[in-house]
């Protein structure tokens, strides 16, 4: 313990030190730990364990919970007050997502493996967890995916549906915890399970072994914005979120809800004051039952004074909700007895995109190439779940790591959106590929 404490001396980012993980040390071990940390002038909190199962007398309760989940749960799971849902501090929890994109999958899976991935939903998967683990297959995940998004028609279709499911899973987790930050029973934080993997993996990651981000990453990025506006899947309320320590003042929230053809189902504009480190309800979604099969909700947060858009966020919503059986919860998931239906996504009318690529000057000396992509939906209906990817034109390989301002975006009819990207490489030898749920692939060069 003396050695551990000495190694930590120079790490200013340490928030605390846990002397136990799932369980806590006995009194004898606790005394040894505390004496060593005190001798090394450890200044930060010392925490008994990451769970609420017990604690040594000298330390008291940790204030953390370790109730899961680790496998798939629907977005509305997080807006409840049971298990790992948004209250307290969740020390390790997530919906078991993190499916790599096709470019990465083909690097570590054979053609036969890839066939099995989408054709045999209950098959064991070497690139998950150990053979004796609860997480050696994608059964729970695939049952939900097939029921909610439809049985996949190809490997490409399976990966696209997986990305949509992963995006909504991570976004809702971070948004739900953010909405409850100043609640009566507050959500004080979470540690997401998990950031990345030490080997090529099919789950539990926000970026993969090859440093390529997937939809789970961008769902997290949106859900954790400094100032944000979020949709509560359970109550249909709209939340204004402020994670900052100093930002305040008037904010404008636009709520736009359309059907799959682009027809307006409801629209509202709300103004409200925001204050640091707080969240509050500012509106409710009208018209959710007007959507016959699926609807698209766009939430836009802006500063009326500067006219800056602080957050833009699009959901695909079903008039039927996922129904959870909380009484059958275990340590890794909560069963779903009825699934939301997003199968209309399979038959959306095609949308046409117009896009352009422009080089940008960097405002910082980061050594990266910076560019802007402008995409415009020329159609009368939405252009859904658009992914942008960058490739080295000389080698044909995906560029990684790379840093998009946003990705996997959905455009309203006639809407234009500007996205930026930064990466190592020559913009002259870079190709941007744009794909989506209902758009033909677009390829851009400078």
pLDDT at 78: 98
pLDDT band at 390 (very low <50, low <70, confident <90, very high): very high
Determine which helix (DSSP H) or strand (DSSP E) holds 35, and give its type and residue range.
Answer: helix 27-39
Q: Can you tell me the distance from the alpha carbon of 110 to that of 116, in angstroms, rounded to the nearest whole number?
A: 10
Query: Beta partners for 314?
Result: 298
pLDDT at 289: 86
Q: Can you tell me the distance from the alpha carbon of 250 to that of 345, in angstroms, rounded to the nearest whole number?
A: 36
pLDDT at 11: 81
For residue 429, give the DSSP letter. G
**CB-CB contact of 233 with 79 (8 Å):** yes
Query: Beta partners for 153?
Result: none
**CB-CB contact of 319 with 296 (8 Å):** no
pLDDT at 418: 98
pLDDT at 14: 85
Q: Tell me the CA end-to-end span of the chain in Å, nearest whole number.
A: 56
**CB-CB contact of 76 with 89 (8 Å):** no
336-355 pLDDT, tens digit each: 999 999 999 999 999 999 99
Of 92, 166, 168, 175, the active-site residue reads: 92
**CB-CB contact of 339 with 248 (8 Å):** no
Q: Which two tokens stand for residue 290?
A: 């007007």
Q: Which two tokens stand for residue 339?
A: 């699934």
138-187 pLDDT, tens digit each: 999 999 999 999 999 999 999 999 999 999 999 999 999 999 999 999 99
Spatial CA neighbour of 167 closest among 219, 209, 109, 202 = 219
**CB-CB contact of 312 with 329 (8 Å):** no
Q: Which two tokens stand for residue 356?
A: 């352009």
Per-chain mean pLDDT for the chain: 96
pLDDT band at 286 (very low <50, low <70, confident <90, very high): confident
61-110 pLDDT, tens digit each: 999 999 999 999 999 999 999 999 999 999 999 999 999 999 999 999 99
The alpha-carbon radius of gyration of the chain (Å, integer) is 23
Q: Between residues 362 and 200, which one has the greater pLDDT?
A: 200
Q: Which two tokens stand for residue 298?
A: 């766009």
Q: In the chain, what percentage of residues exceed pLDDT 70?
A: 100
Helices (H), 139-272: 139-149, 155-179, 215-223
Least confident of 136-145, 166-175, 360-369, 380-389: 360-369
307 given a catalytic annotation: no
Q: Between residues 211 and 13, which one has the greater pLDDT?
A: 211
Q: In the chain, what percentage of residues exceed pLDDT 90?
A: 93
What is the pLDDT averaged over residues 251-272? 97
- Non-local (6+) Cβ contacts of 136 within 8 A are 124, 125, 128, 129, 130
Of 4, 6, 22, 366, the active-site residue reads: 22
Global confidence as pTM: 0.96
pLDDT at 287: 84
What is the pLDDT averaged over residues 291-299? 96
Torsions phi, psi for 126 (to 5 deg): -55, -35
pLDDT at 13: 83
**CB-CB contact of 99 with 166 (8 Å):** yes
Whether the pLDDT of residue 329 is over 90: the answer is yes
Helices 111-119 & 155-179, crossing angle to 10 degrees?
60
346 given a catalytic annotation: no
Whether the pLDDT of residue 362 is over 90: the answer is no
């Amino acid at each position: 313990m003396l050695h551990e404490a000495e190694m930590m001396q120079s790490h200013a980012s340490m928030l605390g030190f846990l002397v136990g993980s799932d369980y806590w040390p006995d009194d004898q071990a606790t005394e040894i730990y505390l004496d060593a940390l005190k001798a090394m002038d450890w200044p930060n909190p010392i925490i008994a364990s990451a769970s609420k199962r017990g604690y040594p007398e000298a330390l008291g309760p940790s204030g953390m919970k370790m109730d899961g989940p680790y496998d798939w749960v629907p977005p509305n799971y997080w807006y409840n007050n049971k298990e790992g849902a948004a209250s307290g501090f969740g020390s390790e929890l997530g919906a078991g997502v993190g499916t790599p994109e096709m470019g990465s999958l083909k690097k570590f899976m054979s053609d036969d493996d890839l066939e099995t991935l989408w054709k045999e939903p209950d098959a064991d998967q070497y690139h998950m967890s150990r053979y004796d683990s609860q997480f050696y297959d994608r059964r729970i995940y695939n049952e939900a995916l097939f029921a909610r998004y439809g049985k996949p028609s190809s490997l490409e279709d399976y990966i696209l549906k997986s990305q949509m499911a992963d995006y909504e899973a991570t976004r809702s987790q971070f948004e739900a915890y953010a909405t409850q930050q100043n609640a009566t029973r507050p959500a004080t934080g979470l540690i997401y399970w998990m950031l990345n993997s030490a080997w090529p993996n099919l789950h539990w990651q926000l970026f993969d072994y090859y440093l390529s981000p997937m939809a789970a990453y961008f769902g997290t990025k949106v859900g954790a914005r400094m100032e944000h506006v979020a949709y509560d899947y359970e109550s249909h309320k709209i939340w204004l979120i402020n994670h900052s320590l100093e930002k305040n003042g008037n904010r404008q929230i636009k709520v736009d809800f359309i059907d799959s053809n682009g027809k307006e189902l409801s629209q509202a504009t709300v103004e409200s004051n925001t204050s640091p480190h707080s969240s509050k309800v500012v509106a409710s979604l009208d018209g959710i039952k007007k959507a016959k099969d699926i609807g698209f909700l766009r939430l836009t947060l802006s500063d009326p004074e500067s006219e800056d858009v602080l957050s833009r966020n699009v959901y695909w919503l079903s008039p039927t909700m996922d129904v959870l059986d909380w009484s059958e919860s275990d340590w890794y998931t909560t069963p779903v007895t009825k699934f939301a239906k997003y199968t209309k996504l399979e038959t959306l009318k095609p949308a046409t995109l117009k896009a352009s690529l422009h080089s940008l000057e960097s405002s910082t000396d980061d050594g990266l190439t910076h560019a802007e992509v402008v995409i415009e939906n020329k159609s009368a209906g939405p252009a859904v779940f658009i992914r942008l990817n960058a490739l080295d034109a000389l080698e044909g390989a995906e560029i990684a790591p790379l840093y998009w301002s946003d990705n996997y975006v959905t455009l309203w009819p006639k809407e234009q959106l500007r996205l930026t990207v930064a990466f190592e490489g020559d913009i002259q030898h870079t190709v941007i590929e744009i794909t989506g749920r209902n758009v033909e692939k677009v390829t851009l060069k400078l």
